[in-house]
Chains A and B, each alone.
Chain A
């Protein structure tokens, strides 16, 4: 795609990665992604905000060539992660007078990750400004969304926020701005779940920090630009502040059908009690869908058979992720089966140590479930209902 004009002297010069399907060799990208870089031409100085993922360096360079950019004074690196900073070495070669503008922590990371010479980097403090003549960049330090060095830029005269990864979405589109809010909501929620959710408490601080800014548009580093910023700000407030909902997330694996029979019975028992369920077969699911479900749920119930005395490895993977993503979960339990014994419950609960959850009595049975086992599942469903009901906040969040 060609460079695209946002406003007078402000251009999108990034790259759309339609075909990428995996990020960090971990996160599925069903809709591809984009690496947004922005060019701001002030009356005196020119700044480039972020760059692109290294394989797409030529796209960025072509965009700058098409705009006939002969000189860049500043390349602002909001974030040292390579999908935004990776083209810096080439850009610095092409524009030998350009200085990288970064937080002190980002300077350290750019030097160690991209071997950028110290002499090419200038650091800025929180709320420091940089004049481009008729345009002013205000730097807002926002550590830990989602690395320790991250910052946001507020372009004062144009009332635009460039928050890098915060508010972003992995969503390849030919739309410069959000057109279909429902689609972007899904992509942005997935992005939040996978990248931002572990830093929920810190995002609260950052939302506070920007709440008094008058923002006409939010231009993130992935996905389309929000020309109605309230859409994404409201979504973030919900994901970050709102109490969890009356929902059970149920990731499971079944090898020979016993655990699956329990899951089927248990899901019906929960639904009968008015509890929403999101069920994921871990042998098949897109792990991003599971992460999204964890954004709002009050309870996780893990279903697993026993393999080599422990849980199924796919269950270990999912539980490890759920623990690391630190969602709002309040309660957890385990259902599943074994043939001759094992330590599945101990191993799964050991993996959940990072969450502030109450563990409800697991139902782990020998062999195929019987009437007695179904009664135990009914009891667990009832206990979850009582827990959800007794939490005033939860009812409010429903």
Chain B
């Protein structure tokens, strides 16, 4: 599963870790995050993320 980087603040979403504070369980691929999920660091929306090289 690919990691995605927030181009606003540099936070990396790691699907292995998820985002428990937002109710996202480990193992959730980026593509399956809800549309209203936002970057836990800066609040950027999903469209501001790019796949990590």
Contacts and interface: CB of A to CB of B under 8 A. Distances in A.
Interface of A: 143-144, 148, 199, 201-202, 326, 354
B10 interface: yes
B51 to A, nearest CB: 13
Nearest 6 pairs of A and B residues by beta carbon: A201-B7, A144-B8, A354-B10, A202-B7, A148-B43, A144-B48
B25 interface: no
Interface of B: 7-8, 10, 43-45, 48, 50
5 contacts: A144-B44, A148-B43, A201-B7, A202-B8, A202-B48
Contacts of A202: 7-8, 48
Contacts of A201: 7, 50
Nearest to A353: B10
A154 to B, nearest CB: 21
B44 to A, nearest CB: 7
Given A144-B8, A199-B8, 15 more contacts: A143-B44, A143-B45, A144-B44, A144-B48, A148-B8, A148-B43, A148-B44, A148-B45, A201-B7, A201-B50, A202-B7, A202-B8, A202-B48, A326-B10, A354-B10
A364 to B, nearest CB: 28
A354 B43 CA distance: 17
A144 B43 CA distance: 11
Nearest to A355: B10
Contacts of A144: 8, 44, 48
A201 B43 CA distance: 17
A354 B44 CA distance: 17
A132 B23 CA distance: 45
A354 to B, nearest CB: 5
Contacts of A148: 8, 43-45
A244 to B, nearest CB: 18
Contacts of B10: 326, 354
Nearest to B38: A148
A144 B44 CA distance: 8
A199 B6 CA distance: 11
Contacts of A354: 10
Contacts of B7: 201-202
A199 B10 CA distance: 10
A195 to B, nearest CB: 14
A202 B48 CA distance: 8
Nearest to A199: B8
Contacts of B50: 201
Nearest to B39: A148
Nearest to B8: A144
